[in-house]
Amino acid sequence: MAFKSIDIFALSFLLLLASTVSQATVFDLNTYGAKPNADITQALANAWKDVCAATSPSKLVIPSGTYTLTEAKLLGPCKAPIEVQIQGTLQAPAVMTKASDNWVVIERLDGFTLNGGIFDGQGKSSYGKHCAKTDYCGKLPINIRYNFITNSIIRGITSLDSKQFHMNVLGCNNVTFDHVTVTAPEDSPNTDGIHIGRSTGINITDSNIKTGDDCISLGDGAKQITVVKTTCGPGHGISVGSLGKYPNEEPVEGVFIRNCTLTNTQNGVRIKTWPDSHEGTASDMHFEDIIMNNVGNPILIDQEYCPWNQCKLSVPSKVKLSKVSFKKITGTSSTPVAVKLVCSGGVPCENVEVADVNLAYSGPLGPVTSVCKNVKPILSGTQTPSTCATAAA
């Protein structure tokens, strides 16, 4: 029932906002001097001033064509609902002339719609050159930042070859991502498709994400997050976390991932927390009706997440996980351990449910199996492999 009510609310909101912007005053970027194959940074800044100042709903149209864009900041608050309709392609500089983690920033808007267009981060020239293991490519720009926007829709856009995260969602409330496409090579580092942190009521529907890191990642403070009818792969899967690295992280609550397909990803659906962590909680997380096609670690709780061995595995995680379910998950695993539930020895997982799982191993290394540690899951329905067949060392 929770899934159904959230979906109906999201659909009703989409229809309401679409009706509002359909009667909008149109601002055409051509009238501000924009020309294809030229830089539109200043033209967009000038147009945004007028659109944001409009006292009735307005639409900013970027016509078809390819445009270069050095940087854009679409900042509010504004006086009325706004739609930005992009009919062409925006290209970031291939080579950054200054250190910045911003390219397009959309901030402090209410009743905002971003409709269509390709955001080409031109990141291929950066891949492998600026991403030392210690900085996570942090000095490179994110294609689109959504900061503190509310009651908004992101529809039909494509994020291509971002130099870092494709989209970062921070401090947002009641935002729907519909028919979003993310495309980057499998070896592109730290190019999470959609990262969500400290936001409530975020819906991702009918989207297709191919990238080099997590397709969707949820940081601390992510609450009431719904992902439906979305495909992922290549990439690292759909992840909650990693959590516990920093002090004062906010709880993760209410995560609903269903009717999704993952193909050739390093992981499937996973929850990850650091050992020797700060205290935290993550609860009410549910993964249902998921198809796995040749996926490594299809079902994974990893409270010993320790990339590059830069942490103390001997000290258990202090992040408490509870009310977690994995239901109706089928397909093939590219690793022998198809179900791995490794919880904290300090604060063991509680109320973990595994139901109707049917996963076959697609490789040559032996029968499909599972591993459990510091967890006593509630089991029902099909259990292939048999859940908790082996205790982790």
pLDDT digits (tens, 9 = 90+) for 215-229: 999 999 999 999 999
Predicted local distance difference test score (pLDDT) of residue 228: 98
Predicted local distance difference test score (pLDDT) of residue 138: 61
The DSSP line for 233-282 is -SSS-EEEEEESSSTTPPPEEEEEEEEEEEES-S-SEEEEE-SSPPPEEE
Domain of residue 7: give its range.
1-213
Q: Is 236 a catalytic residue?
A: yes
Instruction: Give the neighbor-by-neighbor strand order of the sheet with 269-273.
Output: 72-75, 102-107, 142-147, 167-170, 194-197, 216-218, 238-243, 269-273, 299-302, 337-342, 369-373, 390-391
Q: Is residue 187 domain-shared with residue 257, that is, in the same domain?
A: no
**How many domains does the chain contain in total?**
2
Is the pTM above the cut of 0.85? yes
Q: Are residues 162 and 192 in contact, defined by beta-carbon separation less than 8 angstroms?
A: no
Q: Is residue 341 domain-shared with residue 391, that is, in the same domain?
A: yes
Predicted local distance difference test score (pLDDT) of residue 1: 43
- Give CA–CA dist 334/359, Å, rounded: 10
- Classify residue 38: in a domain, yes or no: yes
Q: Is residue 250 domain-shared with residue 199, that is, in the same domain?
A: no
- Tell me the chain's radius of gyration from C-alpha atoms: 22
Task: With CA atoms as reference, report the closest residue to 305 among 340, 258, 338, 333.
Answer: 340
For residues 317-330, give the mean pLDDT: 98
For residues 105-123, give the mean pLDDT: 98
Q: Show the tokens assigned to 368.
A: 């499909």
For residues 328-348, give the mean pLDDT: 97
For residues 274-300, give the mean pLDDT: 97
Q: Is residue 371 domain-shared with residue 244, that is, in the same domain?
A: yes
What residue type is 313 in one-letter code?
A: L
- Classify residue 223: in a domain, yes or no: no
Q: Is residue 292 domain-shared with residue 159, that is, in the same domain?
A: no
Predicted local distance difference test score (pLDDT) of residue 5: 46
Predicted local distance difference test score (pLDDT) of residue 366: 81
pLDDT tens, position by position, 45-86:
999 999 999 999 999 999 999 999 999 999 999 999 999 999
Q: Is residue 162 domain-shared with residue 98, that is, in the same domain?
A: yes
Q: Is residue 173 domain-shared with residue 262, that is, in the same domain?
A: no
- Classify residue 219: in a domain, yes or no: no
Task: With CA atoms as reference, report the closest residue to 151 among 61, 45, 5, 21.
Answer: 21
pLDDT tens, position by position, 15-38:
555 555 567 899 999 999 999 999
- Of 130, 166, 179, 236, which one is the catalytic site residue? 236
For residues 1-12, give the mean pLDDT: 53
**CATH number of the domain that 183 lies in?**
2.160.20.10
pLDDT tens, position by position, 158-208:
999 999 999 999 999 999 999 999 999 999 999 999 999 999 999 999 999
Q: Is 33 helix (H, G, I), strand (E, B) or coil?
A: coil
- Classify residue 384: in a domain, yes or no: yes
For residues 222-238, give the mean pLDDT: 98
Q: Is residue 103 domain-shared with residue 245, that is, in the same domain?
A: no
Q: Is residue 194 domain-shared with residue 300, that is, in the same domain?
A: no
- Classify residue 391: in a domain, yes or no: yes
Q: Is residue 208 domain-shared with residue 235, that is, in the same domain?
A: no
Q: Is residue 73 domain-shared with residue 172, that is, in the same domain?
A: yes
Per-residue pLDDT at 377 exceeds 90: yes
How buried is 202 (Cβ within 10 angstroms: 0-12 exposed, 13-18 middle, 19+ buried)?
buried
By percentage, how much of the chain surpasses pLDDT 70? Answer: 92
Q: Is residue 179 domain-shared with residue 238, that is, in the same domain?
A: no
Q: Are residues 373 and 343 in contact, defined by beta-carbon separation less than 8 angstroms?
A: yes
